[in-house]
Structure 1
Amino acid sequence: MSTFPPFKYSQLDSAKQEIRLINLLPSSNFDDPVRLIISHSPFFVQEKEPKSRHNLRELRKAFEHGRRGDGMVMHETIEGRILIGYWEKGWKGRWSTWETGCGPKATTEDFELQDGMGFEPKFEALSYTWGSNADRDTLFVLDEEQNDGYYAGQNPGPRWQLDVTQNLAIALKHLRYDDRTRRMWIDAICINQHNVTERNEQVRRMKNIYKVAHRVVAWLGPSSSGSGFALSTLEHIGRQVEYTTEDTTPPGPDATEYNWYQKHCLLPYGEEHWQSIYDLITRPWFDRIWVVQEIQLANSRAVVQCGTDQISWYLLRRGIRCLVNRARGVPKYLNDRLLLVSTMCEHMIGKSLPQLLMTNTSRKCVDPLDKIYGILGLAPTNAASSIVPDYASSTLEGYKTTFLNYTSLSRRLHLLDQCNPGPRVDDRPSWVPDWSRDSDEIDYLQLGVYPSGDSAAHWSYSEPNILEVTGVQFKKVIHVWQCELRSDNDFSGLVSEVGFEMLQNSQYPTGDSLLDAHAYVLYRGRLGHLYWQTGSGCWIPSARAKRTILHGSPNELQDFTRAHDLKWLLGRKLVQTEGGYIGLAPGHVQIGDIICVILGSNVPTVLRKNSDGTFKIVGHSYLHGVMNGEALLGPLPKPWAPKREFNPTNQLWEQRFFDTEKREAVDAKNDPRLEPVPDQWECLENDAPFLLQKWKNKETGEIINSDPRLLPQALIERGVKLQTFALS
């Protein structure tokens, strides 16, 4: 085909909130050049309030006193669909039926999938990876005015050409129809990538673009010898399970293999199946940052396409979640890959910004700023609005601005937990997270540990790079074990170095045995007796954890750490502090470093004093005996014990306190170590799902999002020795 002038973008009308859409013209010959028409379309999207639906707790309570009796179970899928099943008497492990729209408070809507917002004109949104900019191909663009001629049976020629990556051109050849046009939104074409102002503006609209698209198509690339085989295998596995808001995978309504949901069940697959699945999920699409929000925001029509083969996203994500962390059968190389891929299958919409950043920091992008901008569409509206995409800023300035804006909004230092600087390679302040690096850090909010309780951050920022924070210096590090965990195999080496068999009869400062303390630390508190929901895959059986530490062979230790996703241990060392406390800290921890609990932070922070009196963040730690607010409030009095309860609304484990004598629990507001809330404070109905309980001062009208009994002055009156740390 002849060459044509390069396509020139005309300016979008901001008053009409325009976006560009393309009409992909048909061709029955795969090798024909790609032709398309680019048009402008108004994009007014009115955020609709979600229909009022009964939540899972309400429905379960309503059914408890209904006609169903024992054997009934109820789940909510991550799409918000309520499913009800019954165990057949005398046959454990099979659903006898799934019911829809029954019960005193259930409606049909509680059981249906929601399929988008009905936006017009209908279009599909493409989720794909750009590929190498060095490999280019040419598309041919017709004038929008030629549209009528095309539909009248004429075959008008193109007027411009547009260079795109070869990966996109191949995708379009697969996606175009033989006999009709296909209307789509594709970022590389519909956004003028050379106009920074337009990029900044359009990035803010991508949430709604993928949300209102009639369908999202995720393009993995051309087919290979085993790709169709992998998709059909995952589709069958995905039909056997559901995926719930409680992070469980019970049998699905259409299951034919009723035991596959059990992690110890050996699936009837061999190396050919595993290798084909591995080859499929190592395609670049599964590694990119932008595709996470693109597929998460999609409705239930979303498909994943490889060559001409398709699978629904609904079934693919369930197939992956069913396979991850299986105790038997799935080879290690595949499970390691599944651990990364499975995070994008989780329900992320509405998770807090720290959770989203933590979960996706290892994903790839061209511009390091996309580690932030690429997940904003999933964050709560107030958090997303506080961060304005600015591709003209440097990576450091973009990261620092994100930290300061979110900290100011939330009054929490949750992003401080994502700092693990190690040796400095630039002038970056140690308190600014480097999201451009891969990280195995964990989200302590998801574990239900709250070393600073429900306290707010008390902080200030001074130009150019000083952050002052308030907290407590707990203890100094006095010993560091030298075995640094670098792989699954190193766990047995640590067990040997520490000599756990000598710890059974030794006492820890909290009154536990030293063996118990090490079990808490090595498994970051994920021990079964701390959790209400005994069916959760989050926790580890306490007795088995200790038994494996004491008596497990190297292979058993390796299998145990793999089955319970203990990769967070990698790169860490076991430490001991003054007073005999033990914990895990970053591998570059040193004797003399101090472990602090900073107000408004999720986790104890390791600090190192600089020669100028400021402090450098070494990283975070898990220290047994300080994870439930002991550094601020002291130990829990008998007969109280910490517990954790899963909240399916915010997908978090929340702190509870359990009276072991009366056998009853209270929430964090009723912490037995705290005096009653002063009369001038009233608890407001909470409109934020992420632990930010609001309180109002009836005398001044002041509203805060932290416990007034944990304000600095209140803590000082309790005798807590607060101090200010200047972080550089």
Structure 2
Amino acid sequence: MSQYQYRHFDSAKQEIRLLILHPGGGEAMVEVEIVHHSLADCPAYEALSYVWGDPTVTEDIHILAPPPAAQIIWPTETQETIQGPTIEPIVPEHHSGDVAASADDSSHDGSHITYIFKVTTNLKSALQHLRTPTKPRVIWVEAICINQQDDAERGHQVRKMDQIYRNCSQVCIWLGDAEEDSDLAMELINSITESCLAPMRDNPHKEITFDSTFVPVFEQFYKDKKFACHFRALLSLIIRPWFSRLWIVQEVVLSTSKIILCGNHQADWACFFNTFLFLFLHAKEKSMLEASYRTSFEIIFHQLPLTVKERWRRSIGMFLRLGAMAISWYDYSPPIVLREALLELRGRSMTDKRNAVYAILSLTSDITPVDLDINYRLDRLEVFKIATRKMIEQSRCLDILCDACTCMHGEYTFPSWLPRFDDQALPCGCGSFLGSTFTFNSSRKLSDNTSAIKPVYFASQGRTAEAVIFGEDGQLITDGIFVDRILVVMQRSTWTGLPNDETELTVPKEWFSLAYPANSFRKTTHPHETPDGSELDSQNFEVLWRTMMANRDSPTSCEPAASQYGEEAQQWLLEHKQCDLVIPPKEVFARNSHSTFLKFKRRLYDTLQKNTLIAIESGLLGLARGCVAPGDQVCILLGCSVPTILRQVPNIEREEYILIGESYIHGMMDGEAIDKLDKGEYKLQKITLV
């Protein structure tokens, strides 16, 4: 048998390829036909959402094609079944000119030529489970319907994927073969569906409302002796690779009907999603279930290894936000800008790193595939540069530069100003002081009014980046103001592992010594131990606690932090003068406490994860990434809502700078530097970032 050769698309017809999956069962060879069809008049078809798996481990399937002198005429008799769109087994007619490939006549059976086609093991298993015993099934499968060896075709077809998923009758989500206890997980989902979520079948896009009628049903589940086993199985299921894959976002969000398959079990998407809301959100929010539920939940959860815990937390968070996005897109098309989508979806897995940008263009409102050509002939660096340039040129905003990760990578194969959109580690805390329009309202839907969302800070006072130049050697040249230098980098806060695999944050007591007159950061750069008899300097302390919170009570708040936080923090400090401030995770994630001081500690847990306290030469305090150093310069770039930290590149003829990252400088977040610029106290200059 010869290898299958793809026939080129007719560009005038806006064609895609579809698979006719032949009936079969068991270990019988998977057989498919590939046909071309215009998007404008496609028959009913499904689309497969899955994970490729190891691309080096492949198995054979057979592609059946008519002889070179024949062409398949698409059968006209189609019908919908519970298994999806199927084709009545009509003997196809043939016309000349369809298949351009040469073939070995020895595989010619008179009506078809059989070609060998390599697919990953996971894809073959998906096709085996999707096929029906008696009738063909019509499916779009990216790995087969797009010639993966043709970069031009890949770009051409990826631009159509939003239409492909919008127009399909159903997306079949393949989680993989049954493993260990996955059957238990699917059984739990179906049991909860039967008991509580049956109405979802009639309105799959509506989120359930939790009320007291659910209490006895829920208690029945968590008191059942089998619940612990089923619950662990659910945790194992949610960390499967599909849930962290990047491509699934558009596949789920853009489609109107979805079904989830795992081994021989299946579940409706809406019931699957609402089961997780039922177990992990609604029940935990209800005081009537809090004590008993948390006891059951924590016993199970804390028995898990640390690596599994972290994967579970990440997976369940991504899944619930994905489901909320899908509900939002069904009701309306939220105006999501590319930068926000890149940050929201950063950390998801992909085989081709260029897809960090390409895979989400169908979801964004400001930059689309029309604005940014999908071109797989470009390397990753060029794709990221083009995307960043497009975002800056369209928005005249430089906040995207704050998403670069110089601290983490410690290497400059990328320009320091260029974000690594494909980064999955996310350890650097980039974008710590920037708000997000990617927010969910009380109904867990995306905000549909970005114009009502204000920037969190106004360091450049709304001035836009009007004169950005992108150099041929990777430089970015823009206007900015050098306002000061870092004088002191305080001892960093530390993270300590606990026996239960959690991590607590310790804020050094030396930080609090700055609140006392003898150690005022306006007088000395070397704070020492606080004398027992010293009294707090109220002005110093207010600057300190507001700086530690970045003067906001949440990452998206536009208003200064309330004074009550300072009052609570001061009371603690008066009682613990010589103590570090230790913030255990149990306090941070406690759901029932509304203590102001606890909220203060929660905010510190966020702001200090990757940032440390600094003092600049003028005496102002601030927060910056842990990799900053004395001598680094504080700069206000026009078009950037927060101050940036720059480091001059040594031993070069030109004056160039490495972007270290964004910062919070108390007293410079509301346009104070721009006011001084207008008064002639500062000078605007061209700044070259490399």
The 8 Å contact of residues 546 and 561 in structure 2, kept in 1 or not, is answered as no
Give RMSD over aligned pairs: 4.1
Moved more, 479-488 or 186-195: 479-488
Q: 2:370 matched to 1:408?
A: no
Residue 716 of structure 1: aligned partner: 678
Distance, in Å, in 1 between the alignment partners of 2:414 and 2:349 is: 21
Distance, in Å, in 1 between the alignment partners of 2:380 and 2:572 is: 44
Q: 2:366 matched to 1:357?
A: no
Residue 558 of structure 1: aligned partner: 585
**Residue 259 (structure 1) shift:** 12
- Partner of 2:631: helix, strand, or coil? coil
2:664 is matched with which residue: 600, 618, 622? 622
The 8 Å contact of residues 15 and 36 in structure 2, kept in 1 or not, is answered as yes
Mapping 1:43-122, distance limit 5 Å: 43-44=39-40, 120-122=42-44
Q: 2:606 matched to 1:606?
A: no
**Residue 579 (structure 1) shift:** 4.0
The 8 Å contact of residues 521 and 623 in structure 1, kept in 2 or not, is answered as no
**Residue 310 (structure 1) shift:** 2.5
The 8 Å contact of residues 596 and 605 in structure 1, kept in 2 or not, is answered as yes
Mapping 1:274-313, distance limit 5 Å: 274-299=231-256, 301-313=257-269
Q: 2:425 matched to 1:394?
A: no
Highest Rg: 1 or 2? 2
**Residue 185 (structure 1) shift:** 0.7
Residue 133 of structure 1: aligned partner: 55
Residue 91 of structure 1: aligned partner: none
For structure 1, list consecutive stretches of 5 or more residues without a partner in the other structure. 45-118, 244-248, 533-539, 635-714
Deviation per residue, 1:123-174 (Å, 9 max, x gap): 1111111111121111112226577698247996652221111110001111
1:457 is matched with which residue: 465, 471, 490? 465
Distance, in Å, in 2 between the alignment partners of 1:217 and 1:321 is: 21
1:167 is matched with which residue: 122, 128, 137? 122
Deviation per residue, 1:390-424 (Å, 9 max, x gap): 21122212211221122112222232121121254
The 8 Å contact of residues 129 and 288 in structure 1, kept in 2 or not, is answered as yes
Deviation per residue, 1:504-523 (Å, 9 max, x gap): 943457x9353343234696
- Partner of 1:193: helix, strand, or coil? coil
Q: 2:20 matched to 1:23?
A: yes
**Residue 449 (structure 1) shift:** 0.7
Q: Structure 1 residues 228 and 523, CA, compared in 2 at 3 Å: closer, same or farther?
A: farther
Q: Structure 1 residues 138 and 250, CA, compared in 2 at 3 Å: closer, same or farther?
A: closer
Deviation per residue, 1:180-205 (Å, 9 max, x gap): 22111110010011111101111111
**Residue 562 (structure 1) shift:** 4.5
**Residue 386 (structure 1) shift:** 2.3
For structure 2, list consecutive stretches of 5 or more residues without a partner in the other structure. 76-86, 93-108, 201-205, 286-293, 303-308, 327-333, 438-454, 517-534, 591-601
Distance, in Å, in 2 between the alignment partners of 1:622 and 1:525 is: 12
The 8 Å contact of residues 642 and 662 in structure 2, kept in 1 or not, is answered as yes
**Residue 584 (structure 1) shift:** 2.9
Letter in 2 for 1:592: G
**Residue 578 (structure 1) shift:** 3.5
Deviation per residue, 1:611-639 (Å, 9 max, x gap): 242111011223444444444358xxxxx
The 8 Å contact of residues 436 and 556 in structure 2, kept in 1 or not, is answered as no
**Residue 587 (structure 1) shift:** 2.0
Q: Structure 1 residues 194 and 548, CA, compared in 2 at 3 Å: closer, same or farther?
A: farther
Q: 2:488 matched to 1:479?
A: yes
2:545 is matched with which residue: 515, 530, 539? 515
Distance, in Å, in 1 between the alignment partners of 2:346 and 2:635 is: 25
The 8 Å contact of residues 504 and 583 in structure 2, kept in 1 or not, is answered as no
Distance, in Å, in 2 between the alignment partners of 1:518 and 1:366 is: 39
Distance, in Å, in 2 between the alignment partners of 1:251 and 1:547 is: 43
Q: Structure 1 residues 120 and 397, CA, compared in 2 at 3 Å: closer, same or farther?
A: closer
Letter in 1 for 2:548: H
Residue 12 of structure 1: aligned partner: 9
The 8 Å contact of residues 47 and 165 in structure 2, kept in 1 or not, is answered as yes
Residue 124 of structure 1: aligned partner: 46
Q: Percent identity?
A: 26
The 8 Å contact of residues 522 and 584 in structure 1, kept in 2 or not, is answered as no
Choose between structure 1 and 2: higher helix proportion.
2
Deviation per residue, 1:493-552 (Å, 9 max, x gap): 22545348967943457x9353343234696656797699xxxxxxx9898888899889
TM-score (norm: length of structure 1) = 0.67
Letter in 2 for 1:616: I
Moved more, 225-234 or 388-397: 225-234
Q: 2:313 matched to 1:335?
A: yes
Letter in 1 for 2:141: I
The 8 Å contact of residues 336 and 366 in structure 2, kept in 1 or not, is answered as no
Q: Structure 1 residues 529 and 471, CA, compared in 2 at 3 Å: closer, same or farther?
A: closer
Residue 445 of structure 1: aligned partner: 435
- Partner of 1:372: helix, strand, or coil? helix
Distance, in Å, in 2 between the alignment partners of 1:359 and 1:134 is: 30
1:37 is matched with which residue: 15, 18, 33? 33
Q: 2:479 matched to 1:493?
A: no
Q: Structure 1 residues 219 and 581, CA, compared in 2 at 3 Å: closer, same or farther?
A: farther
Deviation per residue, 1:65-117 (Å, 9 max, x gap): xxxxxxxxxxxxxxxxxxxxxxxxxxxxxxxxxxxxxxxxxxxxxxxxxxxxx
The 8 Å contact of residues 479 and 577 in structure 1, kept in 2 or not, is answered as yes
Distance, in Å, in 1 between the alignment partners of 2:568 and 2:46 is: 50
Distance, in Å, in 2 between the alignment partners of 1:174 and 1:555 is: 52
Q: 2:420 matched to 1:434?
A: yes
Residue 654 of structure 1: aligned partner: none
Distance, in Å, in 1 between the alignment partners of 2:636 and 2:474 is: 21
Mapping 1:364-375, distance limit 5 Å: 364-375=349-360
Deviation per residue, 1:602-661 (Å, 9 max, x gap): 432211122242111011223444444444358xxxxxxxxxxxxxxxxxxxxxxxxxxx
- Partner of 1:314: helix, strand, or coil? helix
Distance, in Å, in 2 between the alignment partners of 1:34 and 1:358 is: 40
Distance, in Å, in 1 between the alignment partners of 2:572 and 2:46 is: 51
The 8 Å contact of residues 19 and 145 in structure 2, kept in 1 or not, is answered as yes
Moved more, 209-218 or 598-607: 598-607
Distance, in Å, in 1 between the alignment partners of 2:398 and 2:4 is: 47
Letter in 2 for 1:138: D
Distance, in Å, in 2 between the alignment partners of 1:496 and 1:474 is: 29
